[in-house]
Amino acid sequence: MNALHTDSLAALIAGTLFDLLRTKQAYLDPGSGSYLLQLLIAGLLGGMFAIRASWGKIKNFFRRGPKNEEELPSDDEQS
């Protein structure tokens, strides 16, 4: 890259960082905190429900050996 392009890129990055690090005057109303808490709780409960609903598939994925009772060796085959 030429020097002019490098200097322009450095100035752009420095300006962006300076803008991000400045103090922002933002307002969060009291309902924002309860809304974020509600989203967090809903996400946790939804994740727990999804795991519970598919627990059999998860358990079978990590289980070793035959996956079905049909694949288990019978008494005749063991002797």
| Total domains present in the chain | 1
Could you tell me if residue 44 is inside a domain? yes
With a CB cutoff of 8 Å and minimum separation 6, the contacts of 67 are 60
Predicted structure pTM score: 0.43
Query: Quick one: DSSP state of residue 2?
Result: -
Could you tell me if residue 76 is inside a domain? no
Per-residue confidence in pLDDT tens, the chain, 79 aa = 566 678 888 888 888 878 877 766 667 777 888 898 999 999 999 999 999 999 888 888 888 766 565 555 655 555 4
| pLDDT score recorded for residue 41 | 96
Q: Which domain holds residue 59?
A: 30-64
Could you tell me if residue 14 is inside a domain? no
